[in-house]
Chain A
Amino acid sequence: MPRTEPPDELRTNRDRLVRVRCAAEIVHPVHRGHLAVDWWDRPVALPGMAGVCRNLRLGSPVFGWAADHGEPGASLGSRDSAQHLAVQVLACLGNPVRVASGRAAGATGTVIGKHAYVLCDFEPEALEQLVPGDSVVVEAEGQGLRLLDHPDIAVRNCSPGLLAGLSHRSGPGRLEVGVVGVVPPELMGAGLGMSSEWANCDVMLHDPVLRGAHRLAELRIGDLVAMVDQDHRFGRGYARGWASVGVVVHALGPVPGHGVGVVTVLTGPADRLGWWVEAGLSISTACGVRP
C-alpha cells in the first residue's frame, strides 16, 4: 500500500462521540510498609506511582530509573471509587486536561497514559507547581470511537486527535500503523485478563539482553509499539493471529511480572491490522504534544 504523508483522514464516527468533562485530582502516593522483591532479587521500596513525577515526562527513557512503574507527570484519580473508575475508563490518550485549583490553576496538559491513575503530561513550569490534591478537569472523549472503513479493528483508549495523527497506511480491508518496536507475546505480563480500558499491560523487559534481542532497549514514554498475538478487544489476552497497537505510558516496574506499561489503542486480526517499524514514532508526534 502507498505510504500517505501526511496521513490522509481516517474516516471515523468522531462527530458522534460524547465528550464528558470529569473532575479528578492529583492523587497522593501511598505506601503500606511492604518491600517488594525486584527482578534482581533485591527488596525494594521505590517511588514512581501516583503524585507528581517532576522529572519524568513524555519522551523520557523507560529504563534505568530508580522507580517503580514511574508515572510521567501528574497522576489523576478520585477519592470516590466509582468516580475513580469512571475517569479511569473514560479518559483517552490525547485528551486535554486543565488544572482547576492550586498554584498551577489554569495550566493545561494532556492525557498520555493510564495505569491505576490517569497519567498527564504538563509543561515543566506547571509540573513544578502541581501538588497532590490539586483539582484537574479531564475532557474525556474517545471510548466508542470506530474506524468506519476498518470495522474489524477495535479502537480503545484513543482520542480522535491521536487516531487522526497516527502515522498510517490505509487500504481496502487493512490498516498499517507505524511503531518503534514489536513486543512478542511471552513478554506480556501484569494487565493480562483485565479490562482493555483499565490501566495498561506491563511488558516484562527487565533483562537488558532481552531488550536488546527485541530491539526495545531505547523505548521512551509515548512511543508506539505493536503487540504480536494479542487480542485486546474485550480484556487483554493471547490469541494467535491477532495484533494490538499501543502507547508506552510508564517506566519499568522492577518486580517480576511487571514492566513497561503499554495502553492499547488499536486491536484486530493480524491480516487486517499491521505495522511497520520506524524510529521516533510517538504520541508526541501524533498529537503534537511537545515533549
Chain B
Amino acid sequence: MTAGPAAGGAAATNGGRLIGTTLTGRVAPVRLLGDPYLVDRDGTPFVGVGIGGIAPAVRVGMPALGWAGEQVEPAVSIVHPDPAANADLSLQACVGNRVEIQGGAVDGAIGVVTGKHEEFQAFTHVLCDFPPEVSERLGPEDRVVVRAVGVGLAVRDAPSVACHRLSPRLWAAWAPRVTGGRLQVGVVAVCPPHLVGMGAGRLAATTSLEIQTSSPSALTAAGLDHLRLGDLVAVRDWDGRFAIGYRPGALTVGVIATGASRRAGRGLAVTVLVSALDGRLEVQVHPGANLAALLAVGEAGP
C-alpha cells in the first residue's frame, strides 16, 4: 500500500495504486417494449416512469419513496450503446467519480457518479448527478466522459473487506476507520435480511440489489420508510463480496441509487460499496450519511 491515512482520518488504502481510466457514455434512452403497463403487487396495472433518460428535478438527497414513478433514477442516467462496452462502464464507474459533458450546449459541465441501476436481462445504467441547469440542456448526442477510478480499492488494515465501485473521493469524505482489524463506516439505517429482493445471486461488482418496497408496512416496521436517494445503508446478513447472497454474520453496505417500486420483490436499488463476513465490517448509524452531504452534490450541491 502506498497511501497513508487519507484526508479526514479515513483508513489507509491502496488509493495511490489504483488505475484511472477514461470511459464514455450517453444519456440512456427511455425505452418501452410494447405493453405500457407494469403490474403491482396486487395485480393493478400502472405506467412506470423514471427509468432512463433525464429527471432534472430528482436529485440525490431527496426522499427515495413517494415519487409517482418506478425506481426513478435521479438526474442523468447514462449507458454506452455497445452492450459489452456498457458492461465495462458499469464495472469501472465508481460512486464519487467525476463525469464531464463534452459537446452540446453544456460542454464542460461537471457531474458526479451517484450509483448504478441494473435490471436483469434488460439494462444497466450509471447514474450521474448534475445541477438542473445542466440536466435541462443536456442533449441525447452529448458525450458523457467518466473519469473512472476505484476498482481494486483495498483497505490496508482490513484486507478481507471487499470494496466495489467505491472511489477514493467518496472514501475520503466517508472517512471509514479501522479498529482492531474491523472497518467501521457510517450509514443512515440497517436493512433486515428478509427485505432484500431482486439482485440475489447477481454479482455485487456490476449489479444492484434491491430493498423491497412493495409492502409499505414491512418497510415502516424496519425503520426504512424515510430513506433518501444517496443514503448509505447496511444490509444485515447479506454477503456482497462476489455473488450477492444471504449469509448470517455478513454485512453489506451500499448507496440508495433509485426510488422505490410497486412491483413484488422490487424496490430501492442499492449500489454495493463494501462487504465483509464475520463482523469485520461494522456500522455507526447517523442521519448525515448521504452522498449529497459527503460529495456536495444533489440537493447539497452548487
Contact = CB atoms under 8 A, between A and B. Distances in A.
Interface of A: 36-37, 39, 41, 184-194, 202, 204, 206-207, 210, 229, 231-240, 253, 255-258
Contact of B212 (A233, A238, A258): A238
B247 A234 contact: no
Contacts of A234: 39-43, 264
Nearest to B193: A186
12 contacts: A189-B200, A192-B198, A192-B200, A193-B210, A193-B264, A207-B247, A234-B40, A238-B215, A239-B218, A256-B239, A256-B242, A258-B201
A237 B41 CA distance: 8
B197 interface: yes
Contacts of B201: 189-190, 202, 253, 255-258
What secondary structure prevails in chain B residues at the interface with A? Answer: loop
B202 interface: yes
Contacts of A236: 264-265
Interface in B193-239: 193-202, 210, 212, 214-215, 217-218, 221, 237, 239
A196 to B, nearest CB: 8
B257 interface: no
A39 B200 CA distance: 13
Interface in B22-53: 39-43
B214 A239 contact: yes
B29 to A, nearest CB: 21
B61 interface: no
Interface residues of B, number: 37
A189 B264 contact: no
B176 interface: no
Contacts of B42: 233-234
Contacts of A240: 215, 217-218, 221
Nearest to A254: B243
B246 A238 contact: no
Given A190-B200, A256-B243, A229 B194 contact: yes
B248 A210 contact: yes
A251 B200 CA distance: 17
Given A194-B198, A237-B215, A238-B212, A189 B41 contact: no
Contact of B264 (A206, A229, A237, A256): A237
Interface string B272-291: 00000000000000000000
A36 B195 CA distance: 25
B266 interface: yes
Given A256-B244, A257-B244, A257-B246, A202 B265 contact: no
Contact of B245 (A185, A192, A235, A255): A255
Contact of B41 (A186, A239, A253): A239
A204 B245 contact: yes
Contacts of A256: 201, 239, 242-247
Given A193-B212, A234-B264, 13 more contacts: A186-B246, A194-B198, A229-B194, A234-B39, A235-B265, A237-B41, A238-B215, A238-B218, A239-B214, A239-B215, A253-B201, A256-B244, A256-B246
